[in-house]
Amino acid sequence: MNIKITGSGSYIPTEIVSNKDFAEHVFLNDDGTPFPHPNDVVAEKFLEITGIQERRYVTDDLLTSDIATIAAQKAITNANIDPETLDYIIFAHNFGNVRKGAIQTDLVPSLATRVKFDLRIKNPKCVAYDMLFGCPGWVEGVIQAQAYIKAGMAKKCLVIGAETLSRVVDLHDRDSMIYSDGAGATIIESTDEEGGILAHETATFSYDEAYFLHFGNSFNKTHDPDVRYLKMQGRKIYEFALSNVPKAMKECLDNSGVDIKDIKKVLIHQANEKMDEAIIQRFYKLYGQTPPEGIMPMSIHKLGNSSVATVPTLYDSLVRGEIENQSLNKGDVILFASVGAGMNINAIVYKM
């Protein structure tokens, strides 16, 4: 028995927000003082570091569970399965449903339950639950789905990663330019086909790193102090990721028995182009090699950082042939990797 991704789907929001659209924003330092550089300089340096030219936001009428349902339905159709045969719906997100202009998140019922309702699944033995695991949530959901299947507790699982970060960012914080919205979904099931998940690794670093990403006050000190926004310690996260993510990727690859030369693609969380490129360089350096050209497909330039949605939407785009000069073929070995709030790191070696 092998455990494979048999279908995928995604929802890419329709609202395109370019770096120029931040021209009128009032960016502040964390102490509330005016930022010293004009916004065109901010945008130029931002693009140089992150590689992000534009990002996608959902329209005002859509919630995280709505776009997740769209992606899930596409994955179900792509896998050609009856949704009533699903044993688990695992929904990775971090902030629940936040309506436009709201100051509270909505998590009751769970977003996974809402997706199950929206898909009109009657089977009560289809268990639906949410996963809060930072940006690596979708990857961890796939690892959990594999564990259920290996244990004989499931045959088919729906794993979703979706987020609407545009609803939880502080518009006075330059970091708000990084974040975006999106949803990706996959069907994970047992199959007699060759390949599937060959190895996986997960770690949580919380002793010193737990609050590198957190909820905090707006940089605008006139805002309600009881309303919180997504905040990050960018330099600490960058240093943490470069130190720890390549090691986790190597441990996973070594446990898979696959030679690094046989890796066709590395699908890493689309957090920051400069950081991802440094991670991939360090990963290959651990084997005394340099990364082959085109080994790391990127979607961040046009889609931004949509947290848990970046890896599944990237995978879906690749299998559909939607990324220029990039493709995935049957038998290819790929390495999934992610890092995010917690601080959590995980990786999967997977054979198509």
Domains held by the chain: number: 2
Q: Both 202 and 187 in a single domain?
A: no
Residues 6+ apart with CB under 8 A from 155: 85, 87, 149, 189, 190
The mean pLDDT of 7-31, rounded to a whole number, is: 92
My answer on whether 31 and 68 are in the same domain is yes
What CATH number has the domain bearing residue 257?
A: 3.40.47.10
Q: Are residues 186 and 205 in the same domain?
A: no
Within its chain, how far is the Cα of 16 from the centroid?
Answer: 19
pLDDT at residue 199, rounded to an integer = 97
Both tokens of 199, joined, read 């190895």
Q: Are residues 251 and 169 in the same domain?
A: no
Q: Are residues 255 and 188 in the same domain?
A: no
> What does the mean pLDDT of the chain come to?
95
Please write the tens of the pLDDT for every residue from 271-326. 999 999 999 999 999 999 999 999 999 999 999 999 999 999 999 999 999 998 89
Q: What is the pLDDT of residues 230-254, one digit of tens each?
A: 999 989 999 999 999 999 999 999 9
- C-alpha dihedral, 246 to 247 to 248 to 251, nearest 10°: 120
Contact status, residue 54 vs residue 19, Cβ threshold 8 Å: yes
Range of the domain at 295: 198-351
Contact 10, 313 (CB under 8 A): yes
pLDDT at 347 over 90: yes
DSSP string, 23-59: TT---B-TTSPBPSS-HHHHHHHHHHHH--SEEEE--
Q: Which two tokens stand for residue 326?
A: 């990039």
309, 213: one domain: yes
Nearest to 217 by CA among 151, 150, 278, 172: 172
Locate all alpha helices (DSSP H) within the chain, ordered by sequence: 39-50, 64-79, 111-118, 137-150, 234-256, 273-285, 300-303, 310-319
